[in-house]
Amino acid sequence: MRMHFLIIAFCSFILCSCSREENNVTVDDQTPIVSSNWEMLWSDEFDGEELDLSKWNKLSWKPGWVNNELQAYTDRDTNIFLEDGYLVIQGNIEPGYSGTDYVGNNYIADYTSGRVNTDNKFSTTYGRFDIKAKLPSGKGSWPAIWMLGESISSLGWPDCGEIDIMEHVGYDEGMIHGSIHTEEYNHMYNTQRSGSKYVDNVTDQFHVYSLEWSPFYLRYLIDDEPFFFVYNDSNGDDGKWPFNDPHYLILNLAIGGDWGGVQGISASAFPMKMYVDYVRVYKKSDDYNYVQVTFKVDMSNENVNGSGVWLSGGDLGSGQPGGIQMSLSENSNIWQTTLTLAPNASYTYKYRNGYFPNSWQGGWEDVEGNCSFGEHNNRLINIGSADTVLIAQCFGDCLTCE
């Protein structure tokens, strides 16, 4: 992505035909994902004989504690263990298993599994999170790599904030999901912001699931390729962005439940195993500087919808389908917004006439020709290390308005 600024400007402003190869990279143990922009803050390589309990907690929960999941979470070495340099979280079918949860409740379960977190042992605000994992296969599996705000004990969920770096359900193998849950944006209101990407061989090969978390955005990546983006346009509203406070990490394998069990549970898939090669957390280096990009669109040839113009679509869409509101420049037909973004990166986007939060239909510009990219004809911009102001192109066109 590193290019001379003049080349970037040419690609962005003149909107030449730019291409970006789509691929699914299998990362080997010798290839680092992150660059010198990041410095190691915390990690676990799982190279010992037992899980490091100075870093992790093993949870003990009864079935149905959340999401109507069917497994009991236990701290047994049949559900959580290290093997050949990997953390293994294993789901087992154990009809009639009896146990006791962390508050002393007795239960009977037909499935057991594992859940670990770093609560009260490690939490942080902002940074980059890389988790290299191979996921279980089989209907009923529901592995997750995610984070919760430390304030959950005082504020409760979802006010504390939840960041789902990776979720996968076995009946839809290969479809990886990322999302957030907050007071304003959560699945109870069908307002959660989420994105998905299909990845080959997630149950046969390791992939690196990553999050870049800044005060300005959450950027989700798989094998260092971005697939989802949430921009902080909350204007200080904690109900929309509770992500300026420490969060801790969670790794778990659920079985069944409201999402994982939609198509039942495959008995032949047990034992289900989620392998984790490493968890690495980085902080921003002193050399890492965000860039400001000003997006502009000329609506001279359009009747503007009463809700205004929005930057949406692509990987700047801010989730399901979301959008970032633009403002009208004084005495003109130019709408613009300035975003603080990661440097040396590429982004896809569209302009949308009006806000339609529950629909992918209506208002989209129809961009074709040498400024469109991908199956949805998005615009593409490659950002270097310098602040950028884009030329105002005509809505739905590659050129300025006549």
- Please check whether residue 33 lies inside any domain of the structure: no
Residues 270 and 125 in one domain: yes
Residues 192 and 226 in one domain: yes
Residues 280 and 208 in one domain: yes
Nearest CA to 255 among 135, 148, 166, 169? 169
Look up 184 and say whether it is catalytic: no
- Please check whether residue 297 lies inside any domain of the structure: yes
Report the pLDDT value the prediction gives residue 35, as an integer from 0 to 100.
67
Residues 164 and 296 in one domain: no
Report the pLDDT value the prediction gives residue 19, as an integer from 0 to 100.
33
Report the pLDDT value the prediction gives residue 177, as an integer from 0 to 100.
96
Residues 276 and 296 in one domain: no
Residues 229 and 334 in one domain: no
Look up 212 and say whether it is catalytic: no
247, 264, 284 - which closes a domain: 284
Residues 243 and 138 in one domain: yes
The token pair that represents 191 in the structure block: 């307002």
Report the pLDDT value the prediction gives residue 32, as an integer from 0 to 100.
56
Residues 191 and 330 in one domain: no
Pairing type for strands 393-394 and 291-298 reads: parallel
Number of structural domains (the chain) is 2
284, 308, 329 - which closes a domain: 284
Report the pLDDT value the prediction gives residue 289, as an integer from 0 to 100.
93
Domain boundaries, position 300: 5-22+288-394
Q: What is the pLDDT along the chain (402 residues), one digit of tens a residue?
A: 233 333 333 333 333 333 333 333 344 444 556 667 899 999 999 999 999 999 999 999 999 999 999 999 999 999 999 999 999 999 999 999 999 999 999 999 999 999 999 999 999 999 999 999 999 999 999 999 999 999 999 999 999 999 999 999 999 999 999 999 999 988 888 788 888 999 999 999 999 999 999 999 999 999 999 889 999 989 999 999 999 999 999 999 999 999 999 999 999 999 999 999 999 999 999 989 999 999 999 999 999 999 999 998 888 876 656 789 999 998 889 999 999 999 998 899 999 999 887 777 889 999 988 889 988 899 999 999 999 999 999 999 999 998
- Choice among 69, 94, 162, 212 that is catalytic: 162
| CATH number where 359 lies | 2.60.40.10
Nearest CA to 250 among 381, 119, 384, 54? 119
Residues 75 and 95 in one domain: yes
| CATH number where 223 lies | 2.60.120.200
Report the pLDDT value the prediction gives residue 320, as an integer from 0 to 100.
59
229, 259, 284 - which closes a domain: 284
Q: Burial letters for 3-33: b for 16+ Cβ neighbours within 10 Å, e otherwise?
A: beeeebbebbeebeebeeeeebeebeeeeeb
- Please check whether residue 371 lies inside any domain of the structure: yes
- Please check whether residue 30 lies inside any domain of the structure: no
Please give the distance of CA 344 from its chain centroid, rounded to a whole number: 19
Residues 216 and 326 in one domain: no
Report the pLDDT value the prediction gives residue 394, as an integer from 0 to 100.
96
- Choice among 167, 173, 183, 184 that is catalytic: 167
The token pair that represents 231 in the structure block: 């921009």
Residues 265 and 332 in one domain: no
Residue in the block written with tokens 């899980």? 51
Nearest CA to 186 among 206, 156, 153? 156
Single pTM value for the model: 0.89
CA distance 165 to 218: 10
Classify residue 174 as left (phi > 0), alpha (psi -120 to 50) or beta: left
